Amino acid sequence: MSSDTGWGADGLCVKYGRTVALHDVSLSARPGQVTAVVGGDGAGKTTLLRCLAGSLAADSGTVRRPAKERAGYFPASSGIYDDLTVAENLDFRAQGYRLARQPARERAAEYLERAGLGGVSGRLAGQLSGGMRQKLAVIAAMLHQPDLLVLDEPTTGVDPVSRSGLWWLITRAAADGCAVVLATTYLDEAERCAAVLVLDGGCELAAGTPDEIVARVPGSLRHVPAKPDGDAAGRAWRRAGNWRIWEPGPDHGNGSGNGPDVIKPDLQDAVTVAAIARELGVVANGAKR
């Protein structure tokens, strides 16, 4: 059942043998909004999304999701049949959801056209480019207008034009009242979303709206001409050809400090600082844990 906080999960823990995939992870996905789950390889994104979609049972914690027929899932494997045409893939999915044939075909035709696939409905799915295949898989997952749409990295490895078409589909699903949960490695995509959950090693690294995550950056960020030596090296990183360093302390890292080298952080900076702070055991006031 749903709750006032929408669909999602509370306190999920998942282990694969001795490996902890998720530890006490919570997420809320509200109707009409896109929630991003961000993290690198092995962060726990796919495990969390599989729990949300109902394809994996957590060892502990609770999942709030609609009935199976009211959920849509785009797995990492895409779930598309190569030996069926684009139209046949969508017809097959519509039959599985027990949708009326004509309305389902009309909706599929609209989605295909808006996503730039209107001219390939008769092509075998195995002959599609990677971006076209990704868009077809998202259309298949949202064809029945679900209450919860779970997408596992639909834009990874996709060209910018195809990413634009995918984002039209994603925002269309949210505009229709669906709660969308999207796993991505792209922080520029996460900045578009209403809420963000950042995972690292199966644990929550940061959570909230993009603005809230940025607002919680402790200390200050500065440009430096080169990678510093000593302890400072562990708080420096290279971005866009330049070096940045995080200085822990009570001052907020919002670029309000003095000097031309002070940086106003964005979401990418905020996530980087959160990872560094966890690794170094530094809390907001600059003290060691």
pTM of the model: 0.89
Q: Where are the domains of the chain?
A: 7-208, 212-280
pLDDT tens, residue by residue, 166-201: 999 999 999 999 999 999 989 999 999 999 999 999
Please give the pLDDT value at position 149: 98
**Per-residue confidence (pLDDT) for residue 258, from 0 to 100:** 53
C-alpha to C-alpha distance for 17 and 6, rounded to whole angstroms:
31
Homologous superfamily assigned to 7-208: P-loop containing nucleotide triphosphate hydrolases (3.40.50.300)
Which pLDDT score is estimated for 161?
85
Cα gap 95→44, rounded to integer Å: 32
Report pLDDT for 151. Answer: 97
- Name the stretches of the chain with pLDDT < 50: 1-4, 252-256, 284-289
Per-residue model confidence (pLDDT) at position 2: 46
- What pLDDT does residue 284 have? 47
